[in-house]
Amino acid sequence: MRGLAVINLEGIAQGLIKDSLAPSSRQAYDCAQAAYTRFCSMLGTPCYPASEDVLVLYVADLSQRVCHSTIRSYLSAIRHAHLERGFQDPMAEKTRLELALKGSKTTATSEGPKTVHHPQDLEGNWTGTNA
């Protein structure tokens, strides 16, 4: 009987964790997570747990297409996905990642990166190149 109670509580806990985001935030995070999954697939590397090297490459790739605030949003989605799955915060104490983020804020091409407000706007535009 005790085992069933624990299983029930685990289900309730998972539901609470899932409900920690508003539906609109969940949708945006799911789209951002899908973009990150495609990036990791392109690299042939696992998504979880994320290494700092992969996250730095992801920031570099995104910086060619999206603005700094969008990159931050995408990383927030990756962080949340890790925490939901029981992994450590992939952003904690990541000095190189913070430097790359700072660079994405201060570096701009002559035209600047494209502003993407919704992660699904990157659909079909994920080539893995800076073209």
The model's pLDDT over 52-109, given as tens digits with 9 standing for 90+, comes to: 999 999 999 999 989 999 999 999 999 999 999 999 999 999 999 999 999 998 875 4
pTM assigned to the model = 0.75
The model's pLDDT over 3-48, given as tens digits with 9 standing for 90+, comes to: 767 778 888 888 888 888 888 999 999 999 999 999 999 999 999 9
The stretch 109-122 carries a mean pLDDT of 49
In degrees and rounded to multiples of 5, residue 36 shows phi and psi of: -65, -40
Other CB atoms closer than 10 Å to residue 16's CB: what's the count?
Answer: 9
Q: At what angle do helices 95-106 and 52-62 cross, to 10 degrees?
A: 10
